[in-house]
Each structure stands twice: as C-alpha cells, then as structure tokens.
Amino acid sequence: ARAPVRVLVTGAAGQIGYALVPMIARGIMLGPDQPIILHMLDIEPAAEALKGVQMELIDAAFPLLKGVVATTDVVEACKRVNVAVMVGGFPCKEGMMRKDVLPKNVPIYRAHASALAEHAAPNCKVLVVTNPANTNAVIFKEFARSIPEKNITCLTRLDHNRTLSQIAERLNVHNSDVKNVIVWGNHSSTQYPDASHATITTTSGEKSARELIADQHWLHNEFITTVQQRGDVILKVRKLSSALSAASAACDHIRDWLHGTPKGTWVSMGVCSDGSYGIQPGLFYSFPVTCENEEWSIVQGLEIDEFSRLKMDATAQELIEEKSFAYSFINQ
C-alpha cells in the first residue's frame, strides 16, 4: 500500500475549506489510489467550527482518509506536510479593495511560511489561494527562504477554467474539447484571459478557437471582461465568494502539478517569473505551464501580438505595484 500523503489546508473551517477537504479526502486532488492524512488549520474563533468539519470527515467514512489533524497550532498543522493549500487569511469582503486585505495577510503569511519552512516534509509543494494570491505568494517566498521558489505557486486555475468554459459556451462545445487557453498575470480584474492559442477538438480535427470564433470584437472585449469579473458576479448573486469552483480548481492545480499535464496541453499557474515573455523576474505571474516529474515549466515561444502585449504588461504593472506595497509591510 502507498504511504499516505499529508495535505495541509489552512483556513479549513472557511467556505473554500469546507468544499475542498471532502474533495481531497475523496481522491480528487491526488488520485483514487492515494491515501491521505488531512491537516486542517484555523484560528481560535473558528476552532469549534473546525472541530465540526473534522467530525463530518469522520462521519463520511472516506476510504482514502487515514487521519485528520485539526488544530489552531501552526506548528502542529505544518509538521511533515507534503502539500500545503493556503486558503486561510483575511477574506476580501464585498466592497473591499485588495489593498485593504494585504496588510492583514502579511503577518499571517509570515507565520505560516516560517512554520512550513521549518516543519514541512522536504520538497513540500505550496499553493497560495488567499487573496491577493500572487502577492501573498511573494510574501510566502520571502518568509520561507528554505523552500525552493519552484515549490511555491498561486492559484489562477479558477480563472483558467472560467476561460475554458466561456469559450466552450460560445462555441456550444464541451469544455473538455477546448484546450490551451491562457490566463496571464494577476488573479485580479487586470488578468488577461487569452484564447489566441486555444484549440477546439472537432469531428474534423483540431481547429483554432480564433478561426471558429469569427467575432474578434467579442474575443477582445466581452470575453475578457466576463472572465475578469466572474468572481464579482458570483459574489453579488451568492452573497459569498466562489468556493466550490475555487476548491475544484485547487484540486486541478495540484493534480496536474504532481501527476503531469496531458501531452500537448498546458494549464495556467501563478509561478515566480524567470523573465519569460519579458515579465519582471520575481513577480508571481500566471503563465501557461506544462508539468512533468512534479515540476512545472513555462511554455516558451508563443507568439505575442500587440494586443496581448499591452494586456500582459498592464497586469504585470499591477503586480509590480502590489509587490512594492507588500514590501512596505514586510520591511516594517
């Protein structure tokens, strides 16, 4: 039998946590043959609720779930974990700016990153979900110097999946027939959902999405804004931010990272820029990546037209500003 993998979810008593932990326990993140020990961290005010989640996990009698650690102790939560999904933190409520949550999340990320750097299993893989996700990843990296930057990523897969679905809906095909969309940049309203390299599987072979969608105006306008603003729309109608789709995207992200992306297919992940596509090194920026042997690499050599260049630079600019704003708190 395989040794269990320890998966940490911070903020596990929150709404994404509540959707995510059963998915992990069912094998959706790491596969149907991989036993799991779940580590769940939350804070004192949520301790009772966390206990309740633990009880429900027990009641669900998941065959793959070999143990549950539910705690408000950061060190206990981080011990020997192989995968860390960072969802805990101060959420961005309706009407709040991303700028407002950043100062609240710096001390939280400092504590979690230091504890993981010291106590996690070697080669622990980290996924930052808490907003502002890209910049929290910068903060994480700063306070977890012993964790290789290759092992730190942030979630833009939800935006990627939203992009796939918008294209599928427009062409009246299933989302599994659409591949190689890209979300560039920040997980924010400046993100650039890009279908210029996307292809559609049709009965007469692979076709480019750009050719099938004759309406370039739609591709350059409504398509982009619909994806960019999808989170706000969900928040308005549900009175709560996206949770099940975020949890599902977190599973997709980790699964593809550890098990590899299918041949000829890429996904979007927020990773530390190495300067690819002219993006400032050190920014956590969403790129198209392929994964193999538990490592991601940025897809190289894609042709970038003038429209894309402007959008990619605008979202990079926002990340540069967020990063320097974050450093004003990191250096305090």
Active site members = 187
SS3 201: strand
**In the window 182-221, what residues touch ligand NAX (CB under 6 A)?**
187
- Least Å from the CB of residue 17 to ligand NAX: 6
Q: How far are the Cα atoms of 20, 162, 186, 209, 266 from residue 143, in angstroms, in the given order?
A: 26, 32, 21, 42, 30
- In the bound complex, which residue of the shown chain has the CB atom lying closest to ligand NAX? 14
* Cα–Cα dist 81/119, whole Å: 8
Q: Count of residues binding ligand NAX (CB under 6 A)?
A: 28
In the complex with ligand NAX, the residue whose CB is nearer, 16 or 38, is 16
With binding defined as CB under 6 A, does residue 241 bind ligand NAX? yes
- Cβ closest to ligand NAX, residue 78 vs residue 200: 78
SS3 state at 274: coil
Binding to ligand NAX by CB under 6 A, coded x per residue (else -) over 285-324, reads ----------------------------------------
CB 121 within 8 A of CB 82: yes
Among 7, 30, 37, 87, binds ligand NAX (CB under 6 A): 87
CA distance linking residue 332 with residue 327, whole number of Å: 8
By CB under 6 A, is residue 102 in contact with ligand NAX? no
Q: In whole angstroms, give the CA distance from residue 298 to residue 133.
A: 19
The residues in 242-271 that bind ligand NAX, with binding defined as CB under 6 A, are 242-243, 246
- Which residue from 16, 84, 113, 120 is in contact with ligand NAX, where contact means CB under 6 A? 16
Rounded-to-integer distance, Cα 241 and Cα 93, Å: 8
Question: Residue 186: which region, alpha, beta or left (left: phi > 0; alpha: psi -120 to 50)?
Answer: beta
Please name the residue that has the structure tokens 């994806």: 227
Give 3's Cβ-side CA count (13 Å radius): 5
Q: How many CB atoms lie within 10 A of CB 153?
A: 27
List the x/- string, 132-171, binding to ligand NAX by CB under 6 A.
-x---------------------x--x-------------
The residues that touch ligand NAX, with contacts defined as CB under 6 A, are 10-11, 13-17, 41-43, 46, 87-89, 91-92, 108, 129-131, 133, 155, 158, 187, 241-243, 246
